[in-house]
Amino acid sequence: MLHMTRTRPAHRKLFRFATAFSAGLSLVLTSGCKLAEVFSLSGPQSTMVTAGPVAKAQWDLFMVTVYVTTFIFVVVGAVLAYTQIKFRARSEAAEKSEPPPQGHGNPLIEIGLIAASVALLVIIAIPTVRDIWYTHDVPEAEKGNALDVTATGYQWWFRFEYPTELVKLPTGGEAPLVTGNELVVPAGRPVRVHLRTIDVIHSFWIPKLAGKVDMMPNRDNFLWFKADRPGYFYGQCAEYCGESHAIMRFRVIALEPADYDKWLANQKQPARSVTAKSLAVAAATPRVQFASLQLDDGRALASSPDFDANPLAAWKKMQEVEKDEDPALVATGRKLFSEKTCVSCHTVRGHEGIGITGPDLTRVGARSTIAAGVLENTKERVSQWLHDPVHFKPGNKMYFGGYMVAEGAGDDVKWKQNFTLNDPEINALVSYLHSLK
Ligand code: CUA
C-alpha cells in the first residue's frame, strides 16, 4: 500500500513533466525556429558555429573544459558505481552489522589524487592563460593591419565611430565617421573595438565573432575580432541595462575589402539630397497606404523571408536608391524632420539634423534594421516605429523626451504630448529616411 501511494504523485509528476516538455517543444517548433537550427545549435546567435579566430579560441577553450570535466565525471561516477555494487549489503544481517575498518592515511592514494587534480587544473589553465592573452589584443603580427572602432552603448542602442576615418563637416573641420547599430567592417582584417558607455553598464557581444566584454562607465575596455569571410552577424547587449535591454541589438556586416572601401567612400559623403520641384501636400492621402499602422499583436518582430534567407544580400540591396522614390514626398519629409524636432536628437550630416542624443541617421536608409536591430528596415516597419515607438522599445528616449515631454520630476513626473504625427506625415518621413543612402 505504501508503495502505491508513493508512486501516484511520481506518475503525476512524470505526466506534468511530459506535458511541459511537449508544450515547450511545440513552442520551439512553431515559433519560427528551424528544427535543424535547434538541434545543431547553429542559430544566428550561436557561439558554437564560429566565424572568426577569437570566437573560435573561446569555443575551443570551452571544449577543453567540457572534456576535462566529462573525464572527471566518468571516472568518479564509475568508481562510485563500482563500490556501490561491489560492497552493497547482500543480506539483512550484513545491513545491520558494523561497517568494516575504514582506511585512511594511504600516502600513495592521497598524493596521487592531489597530483591528478593539479594535472587536470593545469590542463585547463594553460589554454585559459594563453587565450586571455590572445583575446586581449590583436596579435603583434597583425597589429599594423588592425581597424580601430569605438563602440558606445546608449540606452538602448549602439553608436559606432571610426576614429581613423575622417569626414569633412558642413560647418568646416573634420570629425570621425559615425554610424549607428550596424558596424560595417572588412572581412579578414582584425578590428579592435574600444568599448565605452554614455550611461549604464552594457556588454558587447557578437556570438559568432567575439565577446562578451562590458562597456563600463569611466573606463576604456576593449576587445578585438576578425571575420574570416564576408557575412552578416548578430550582436546583442549582454548586460542588463534597463527596460529594453533584451532588445538592445546590433549587427556586424563584414564585407570583401573592395566592397568595404566602396561603402566607406560613400559614408564619407554628406547625406544624399533629393531635389524636388515642390513639396507634397502634407495633408494629402499617402500614395502608399500601409496596413501597418495596426500593429502586430504582441511584439512579433519577424523579418521578411528574403531577409531571413540571406541577410547579407538583403543588406546589400538596401544600399541602392529605391526606384519608386517620390522627390516631393522626400522633400516634405525632410521639412517635417526639422519641424517635428527630430533634428535636435539626430544628425543627418549635410542636412539640418545636428543632434547627438539618438543614432546618426546620415545613411539610415542603407541599414538593414532600425530601432537597434529590432525591426527590419522596411517602409512598413519604419512607419510602425514612427507611429508608436514605445510599443517596440519600451522606455525609449525618442518617445519619452521626444514625442512626450516631462513636467515635474521624480514620482510626480507627468508626460505631456510634445508633437503628434498623422499618417501622411509619417509617410513623408519614411520616404525621407529611406532616401538617406
Ligand atoms: Cu545594454 Cu543591456
Tell me, what's the pLDDT at 10?
60
CA of 206 to the centre of ligand 1 (A): 13
Would the CB of 371 count as within 6 Å of ligand 1? no
- Answer whether 17 contacts ligand 1 (Cβ < 6 A): no
| Cα 215 to ligand 1 centre (Å) | 9
- A 10 A CB-CB count for 435 gives 23
Ligand 1: distance of its center to the CA of 214 in Å? 10
Say how many Å lie between the CA of residue 42 and the centre of ligand 1: 23
> With a 6 A CB cut-off, is 153 part of the ligand 1 pocket?
yes
- What are 68-126's pLDDT values in tens digits? 999 999 999 999 999 999 988 888 888 888 888 888 888 999 999 999 999 999 999 99
Is there a contact between 393 and 371 (Cβ–Cβ < 8 Å)? Answer: yes
Whether residue 202 has its Cβ less than 6 Å from ligand 1: yes
Cα 212 to middle of ligand 1, angstroms? 12
Residue 202 CA: nearest ligand 1 atom is: 1
3-state SS track over the chain: CHHHHHHHHHHHHHHHHHHHHHHHHHHHHHCCCCHHHHHHCCCCCCCCCCCCHHHHHHHHHHHHHHHHHHHHHHHHHHHHHHHHHHCCCCCHHHHHCCCCCCCCCCHHHHHHHHHHHHHHHHHHHHHHHHHHHHHHCCCHHHHHHCEEEEEEEECCEEEEEEEEEEEECCCCCEEEEEEECEEEEECCCCEEEEEEECCCCEEEEECCCEEEEEECCCCCEEEEECCCCCEEEEEEECCCCCCCHHHCEEEEEEECHHHHHHHHHHHCCCCCCCCCCCCCCCCCCCCCCCHHHCCCCCCCCCCCHHHHHCHHHHHHHHCCCCCCCCHHHHHHHHHHHHHCCHHHCCECCCCCCECCCCCCCCCHHHCCEECCCCEECCHHHHHHHHHCHHHHCCCCCCCECCCEEEECCHHHCEEEECCCCCHHHHHHHHHHHHHCC
* Residue 40: CA count within 13 A, CB half-sphere: 9
Pocket flag, ligand 1, residue 239 (CB < 6 Å): yes
Nearest one of 429, 421, 384 to 402, comparing CA atoms: 421
Cα of 275 vs centre of ligand 1, distance in Å, is: 40
Q: Which atom of ligand 1 is nearest to the CA of 201?
A: 1
Those residues of the chain that have pLDDT short of 50 are: 1-7, 283, 285-294, 297-299
Angle at the Cα of 142 (from 139 to 146), degrees rounded to 5? 105
Q: What is the pLDDT of residue 182?
A: 96
* pLDDT given for residue 164 in this prediction: 95
132 burial type by CB count under 10 A (0-12 exposed, 13-18 middle, 19+ buried): exposed
Q: Which atom from ligand 1 is nearest to the alpha carbon of 200?
A: 1
The pairs formed by 318-324 with CB atoms below 8 angstroms and a separation of 24 or more are 318/365, 318/366, 318/367, 318/368, 318/377, 318/437, 319/263, 319/266, 319/366, 319/437, 320/437, 321/272, 321/435, 321/437, 322/434, 322/435
| 154 CA → ligand 1 middle, Å | 8
Residue count of the chain, please give it. 437
Cα–Cα distances (Å) from 138 to 145, 164, 237, 261, in that order, read 9, 17, 22, 22
* Cα 157 to ligand 1 centre (Å): 8
The number of the ligand 1 atom at minimal distance from the alpha carbon of 156 is: 1
Tell me, using a 6 A CB cutoff, whether residue 240 lines ligand 1.
yes
Q: Which atom of ligand 1 is nearest to the CA of 153?
A: 1
Cα–Cα distance measured from residue 31 to residue 24, given in angstroms and rounded to the nearest whole number: 10
d(CA 226, CA 234): 14
pLDDT of residue 44: 85
Is residue 61 in contact with ligand 1, taking CB distance under 6 Å?
A: no
| Cβ atoms of residues 121 and 129 within 8 Å | no
Atom of ligand 1 nearest to the CA of 241: 2
Contact status, residue 345 vs residue 398, Cβ threshold 8 Å: yes
Closest residue by CA, ligand 1 atom 1: 202
